[in-house]
């Protein structure tokens, strides 16, 4: 039996691993081919909160984020030992369809990636992909409003998505991701290609979006994590014996992690002793 999108919605109230936990992610070991990229990383994603993944380059932040909606499945040689519980199911169970998972756990990438089609169709595309046929114009408008883009584009919905500025393109991608009303939005360094003003706009939008969606975000920007995140997961990378395996060092309330880190590596990282 193939699990369908509807089977993942069957028990929307179900949580895993504790009250308010929408996704409970446990990575015992994760490989790309023979390379062990991540180990011993347990990150609960809490409902209605923003969880930031921070840490030095190569520690596995994006890899861990991509586990949450099975995006790593697309990578050749990917192997995963652990679980990702969502709505009472392990999304890695062989009967779960990854396409159904991504309907409920959407993703926004580092580089804004609008399609070479109109602004309207960029948002409607995600709906069509998920066979949503009713109320498409209303849903497109709601998604563009939700992404704080409607006022800027309502008079040019037929213009190409590529004609927008970088920050607008990223908000268009957010609109595309929220059009199907996912439960969770994964954001992989969503501001790294943007200037400070567009970055602030996206940060404000994230805080607004968390009223409706749970968010997990990878960021290199520690101030950004402090500004937007409720919870922060700090990852580090072992380099013993030539290995480069990332792991979770500390997961805490963001304020606590930055004000009173419990682990030496966290202290060193947030004080800028290494990057
Ligand atoms: N598709 C892939 N195939 C093989 N190895 C990969 C792949 N993606 C990532 N890796 C490796 O896995 C490790 C973790 O990478 P990942 O991109 O998750 O780290 P990161 O902390 O997000 O890094 P950065 O901050 O530089 O983006 C790195 O050693 C990286 O080279």
* C-alpha–C-alpha distance, residues 72 and 98, integer Å: 10
Residue 215 domain-assigned? yes
* Ligand 1 proximal residues by C-beta, below 6 Å: 32, 35, 37, 55, 57-63, 75, 244, 246
Residue 10 is part of a domain; what is its CATH number? 3.40.50.300
Query: Token pair for residue 98?
Result: 């990854």
Cα 138 to averaged position of ligand 1 atoms, centre (Å): 39
Tell me whether residue 11 is in a domain: yes
Coil/strand/helix, residue 130: coil
Asked whether residue 258 is domain-assigned, the answer is: yes
Q: pLDDT value at position 204?
A: 95
Q: In which element (H, E) is residue 216 found?
A: strand 214-218
Q: Structural domain tally of the chain?
A: 1
Pairing type for strands 184-188 and 105-108 reads: parallel
Q: Please identify, by atom number, the ligand 1 atom nearest to the C-alpha of residue 33.
A: 4
ipTM: 0.98
- Whether the model clears a pTM of 0.90, i.e. scores above it, the answer is yes
Nearest CA to ligand 1 atom 1: 75
Residue 94 lies in a domain: yes
Range of the domain at 44: 5-113+182-270
Report pLDDT digits (tens) over 123-147. 999 888 888 888 999 999 999 999 9
Low-confidence ranges of the chain (pLDDT < 70): 1-19, 274-275
In a domain, 108, yes or no: yes
Confirm if 195 and 3 have CB atoms less than 8 A apart.
no
Q: Crossing angle of helices 136-146/119-129, nearest 10°? A: 110
CA of 174 to the centre of ligand 1 (A): 23
Domain contains 106: yes
Please check whether residue 136 lies inside any domain of the structure.
no
Query: In angstroms, rounded to a whole number, what is the distance separating the alpha carbons of residues 272 and 170?
Result: 29
pLDDT of residue 8: 59
Both tokens assigned to 122: 């960029």
162: in domain:
no
Question: In the block, which residue shows the tokens 């809490």?
Answer: 46
């Amino acid at each position: 039996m193939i699990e369908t999108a509807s089977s993942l919605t069957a028990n929307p109230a179900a949580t895993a691993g504790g009250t308010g936990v929408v996704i409970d992610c446990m990575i015992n070991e994760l490989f790309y081919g023979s390379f062990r990229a991540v180990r011993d990383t347990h990150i609960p994603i809490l409902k209605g909160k923003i969880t930031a993944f921070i840490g030095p380059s190569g520690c596995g932040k994006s890899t861990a984020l991509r586990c949450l909606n099975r995006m790593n499945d697309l990578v050749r040689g990917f192997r995963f030992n652990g679980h990702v519980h969502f709505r009472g199911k392990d999304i890695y169970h062989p009967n779960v369809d990854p396409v159904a998972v991504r309907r409920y756990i959407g993703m926004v990438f580092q580089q804004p990636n609008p399609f070479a089609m109109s602004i309207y169709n960029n948002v409607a595309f995600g709906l069509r992909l998920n066979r949503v046929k009713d109320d498409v114009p209303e849903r497109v408008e709601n998604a563009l409003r939700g992404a704080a883009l409607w006022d800027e584009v309502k008079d040019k919905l037929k213009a190409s998505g590529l004609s927008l500025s970088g920050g607008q393109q990223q908000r268009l991608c957010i609109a595309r991701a929220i059009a199907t009303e996912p439960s969770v939005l994964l954001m992989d360094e969503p501001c790294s290609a943007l200037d400070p003003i567009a970055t602030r706009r996206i940060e404000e939008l994230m805080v607004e979006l968390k009223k409706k969606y749970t968010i997990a975000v990878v960021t290199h920007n520690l101030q950004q994590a402090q500004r937007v995140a409720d919870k922060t997961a700090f990852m580090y990378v072992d380099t013993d014996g030539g290995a480069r395996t990332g792991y979770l060092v500390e997961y805490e309330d963001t304020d606590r992690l930055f004000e009173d880190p419990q682990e030496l590596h966290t202290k060193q990282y947030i004080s800028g002793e290494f990057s």
